Amino acid sequence: MAKAMEEKPSRLLVLYASQTGNAMDAAERVGREAERGGCPSVTVLSMDRFDASRLRDEKTVIFVVSTTGQGDAPDSMKVFWRSLLQRNLSNRWLEGLHYAVFGLGDSGYQKYNFTAKKLDKRLADLGAKSIIEKGLGDDQHPSGYEGAFDPWLSSLWNMLNQMNPTILPRVSDISNSHMKTLDPSKFQVIYHNADEVEAHMSTISDSKSTEKMIESARSMSPAFCFCDDNKPHYFLRMITNQRLTKVDYDRDVRHFEFEALSLGMDYQVGDIAEILPSPDPIAVDAFIQRCNLNPDCYITVQPRDNEKQSIDSHVKSLTHPVKLKDFVALTMDVASASPRRYFFEVMSFYAMAEHEKERLQYFASPEGRDDLYQYNQKERRTVLEVLEDFPSVQMPFEWLVQLVPPLKTRAFSISSSPSAHPNQVHLTVSIVSWITPFKRKRRGLCSSWLAALDPYESKGVYIPAWIHRGALPSPPPSLPLILIGPGTGCAPFHAFVEERAMQNVTVSTSPVIFFFGCRNQENDFLYNNFWLSHAQDHGVLSKEKGGGFFVAFSRDQPQKVYVQHKMKEERTRIWSLLSAGAAIYIAGSSVNMPANVTSTLEEIISEESGISKESAARWLRQLEKAGRFHIEAWS
């Protein structure tokens, strides 16, 4: 292998597939360290910017990929992955390619790091040679994915250096903190004449102006500039904000109803609504003041020359000057997300006080990783709080644009049927709050913002929203359904039942059984009247229609009762429906529920059909391949 790699020095290509930005961060760190080690040519690219057919022309490629949802590849990897799966590719197609794979995942999900595992196997099947064993980063690790990434990356550099010293002629510099230098930021900020910009903007209507501003700001953001979906699909107005849990109960779950400002809202049951939250304006102002920025100046953000070729011309055409304050509020999460490790490294170069510089350098080092995790991620310290903790640091705005975590949309399962509620979308949202190790109360940015909106007093608040297909396809009325959705996992099934009830008026529909679970009948029995009304008088969930509604109250008796227990009680009904061609839909928390429910289903299939549990697991996998077994889970 060493001889093959020594034929001629070639570039080190780093390809990443990222959904939330973590894999991109990790890939950029691979690129930075390779450059520090003297690599003559390093290229870091998102997979959707690279033609997979050219992979065979490369010599050394590092892949950094995240796993999303239920084992899915990020959107940016899907075309690349389909290219690798072509049947005409031989098992020698990638002969001569040396590769390494690092995956970012969450062991709380069933298909932990599934994307990295699949990619590693496919590359080997096509004849490529692995440099080192694949690395698997875990969000559940005390230091997050970096707990595995740090030692994996160190091993990668050592192995590459052993195989071909010309790739990293200064490999020892990588781990030498004294050799660290700061490259220029990847993006530059251009300031514009306010009078000219405002004269142009005055000709555009208010709603169009807001739409254009959001699209322009997010198209310029480093995190979203490659995305072609930055213009909101709809603007929503809240018309209902109803608490579903008991007022004095410690869990606050809300039912929100929104109306689209324009007619023609189009979606299906099972779809996802993504909401762009509005950050606290006081926090945005505090950030701007702390960084000595002018909130009213107009800016555009663009990549520096060496990055420009990566940005499509159509993206450039979407960008127009926006106020700095609007850019911060629409693209930068300054008051709820924690900065990543590289943020602290860059801060250290701008610290004027020596003790602050030393502390920041320690946080950015491998030795300080665990202490940084305690200070930063575990306490969920925000960018604004970190900057206030290091008052001597004055970072240029270009670096802040590049490194402040992006303001992401929040995705929610839609809980309404478009047939029952035309031009409306309803959501079931748990209002997130928690206490940090240092006893500080934290709140979820989007859920808290929505909970604070008053439908009557906030009529002028236009909420940017996008509608996308979820993991739960809309079922035809002839398909029997087995639905399992404890807690807010009931949201998509509220929509399913509404839709089936509307279909029931005009066509014959198949049976639906629904298993719901919560803690107490009194406190958090979400939508209790809705389910009970559909479970009687020939409703969708009624016995007369072949349906059923089964609820597990886990804390209303000495021994805990979960949906799995109710499923076992109804094992005959479940097997009967499965034998009749029913589809299984599961939704809810990713922590243990999907795995436990799947195990219970395997048990029921095994006992009712007389086959082994292993065979039952294979039977369920076949059901999934046939499109009759779906899981949507969230952490």
Q: How far is CA 210 from CA 37, 295, 513, in A?
A: 46, 17, 44
DSSP 379: T
Binding residues: 18-23, 66-69, 139, 380, 410-413, 444-447, 488, 554-555, 560-564, 634
Distance CA 324, CA 302 (A): 14
Structural contact between residues 529 and 543, judged by C-beta atoms closer than 8 angstroms = no
Binding site for FMN, by residue number, is: 18-23, 66-69, 139
Instruction: Give the Cα separation of 391 and 396 in Å (integer).
Output: 14
Parallel/antiparallel/unpaired status of strands 481-484 and 512-518? parallel
Query: What gap in Å lies between CA 355 and CA 365, rounded to an integer?
Result: 16
Cα–Cα dist 255/241, whole Å: 6
- Tell me the C-alpha distance between 226 and 215, whole Å: 12
Short-list 156, 179, 180, 160, CA closest to 169: 160
Give the full edge-to-edge strand order of the sheet including 187-192. Answer: 187-192, 298-303, 322-323
Buried b (16+ CB within 10 A) or exposed e, 384-394: bbbbeebeebe
Residue 614 tokens, joined: 């292993």
Of the chain, the end-to-end C-alpha distance in Å amounts to: 42
Spatial contact of 333 and 339, defined as CB atoms under 8 Å apart: no
Burial class (CB within 10 angstroms; exposed 0-12, middle 13-18, buried 19+) of 507: exposed
Among positive and negative, which fits the CA dihedral 307, 309, 310, 311?
A: positive
Write out the binding residues for FAD: 380, 410-413, 444-447, 634
Closest CA to 588 of 516, 530, 506, 540: 516
Q: Which residue positions form the known binding site for NADP(+)?
A: 488, 554-555, 560-564
